[in-house]
């Protein structure tokens, strides 16, 4: 195929998301919550998406994958699969942090800082803060995990707060001056946002080494004093 085909994969949150674009235009986006382990269904779903448009991994020009933070297992499954495909067919691979993707659709909504919150379980959220500058995002903080009280203390104000972690933090953040909570929507990864960010970063010369962004240590690291990379 002559089109520049880009496939995006996100498995960092509650849904498994796939998106396919040709020459910068979104062709199709699919998402599901698999009843079987994502390691089993991801290859099948990718194959089905590509087959439905008459192409194969060898027709792709670029592969984009979300890096987390989010589900440790989901992140590692998607990365392992993406790296395997990339190596097998000589396909460029670029990774984009999940919080960056969540923040992207809010660029045109506000001119203040924005902060996506992802439910990290155990009474914490993953978060990072971004400043909207001339239609682009600039990340101001590291990706980290914290409880609601710490989030409230660290937030730069005014800021727009949204995502799956809002429910956990709402009792603490609600009513605080300079904090606007979005309690409906903006909780899921948009395949088009992942595609666009990945393509932009590839053209900007994003690093070739794609590493997960975990946000905090896994259970295995804590229990067995390991370092997972």
Q: How far apart are CA 147 and CA 169, in angstroms?
A: 8
Give the model's pLDDT for residue 223.
46
Same domain, 177 and 193: no
Residue 134, number of CB atoms within 10 A of its CB: 7
Whether residue 89 is preceded by a cis peptide bond, meaning omega within 30 degrees of 0, is no
Regions in the chain scoring below 50 on pLDDT: 1, 220-226
CATH number of the domain bearing residue 87: 3.30.420.40
Predicted pLDDT of residue 15: 92
For residue 171, the model assigns a pLDDT of: 97
How many Cβ atoms from other residues are within 10 Å of residue 205's Cβ? 8
H/E element holding 195? helix 191-203
pLDDT value of residue 84: 97
Q: Which domain holds residue 112?
A: 100-181
Give pLDDT, residue 227: 53
Give the pLDDT of residue 109.
Answer: 73
Q: 112 with 148, same domain?
A: yes
Do 93 and 104 share a domain, yes or no? Answer: no
Residues 46 and 145 in one domain: no
pLDDT of residue 107: 84
pLDDT at 59: 97
Helix (H, G, I), strand (E, B) or coil at 144: strand
Residue 20 CA neighbour count, 13 Å, CB half: 20
């Amino acid at each position: 195929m002559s089109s520049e085909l880009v496939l995006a994969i996100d498995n960092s949150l509650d849904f498994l998301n796939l998106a396919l674009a040709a020459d910068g235009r979104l062709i199709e986006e699919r998402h599901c919550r698999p009843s079987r382990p994502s390691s089993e269904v991801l290859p099948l779903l990718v194959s089905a998406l590509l087959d439905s448009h008459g192409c194969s991994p060898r027709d792709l020009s670029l592969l984009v994958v979300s890096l987390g933070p989010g589900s440790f297992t989901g992140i590692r499954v998607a990365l392992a699969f993406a790296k395997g495909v990339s190596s097998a067919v000589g396909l460029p691979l670029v990774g984009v942090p999940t919080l960056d993707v969540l923040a992207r659709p809010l660029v045109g909504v506000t001119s203040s800082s924005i902060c996506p919150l992802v439910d990290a379980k155990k009474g914490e959220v993953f978060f990072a803060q971004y400043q909207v500058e001339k239609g682009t995002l600039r990340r101001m903080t590291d990706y980290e995990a914290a409880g609601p009280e710490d989030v409230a203390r660290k937030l730069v104000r005014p800021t727009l707060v949204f995502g799956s972690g809002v429910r956990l933090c709402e009792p603490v953040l609600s009513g605080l001056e300079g904090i606007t909570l979005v309690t409906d929507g903006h909780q899921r990864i948009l395949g088009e946002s992942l595609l666009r960010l990945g393509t932009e970063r590839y053209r900007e010369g994003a690093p070739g080494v794609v590493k997960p962004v975990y946000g905090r240590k896994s259970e295995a690291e804590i229990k067995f004093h390991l370092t997972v990379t």
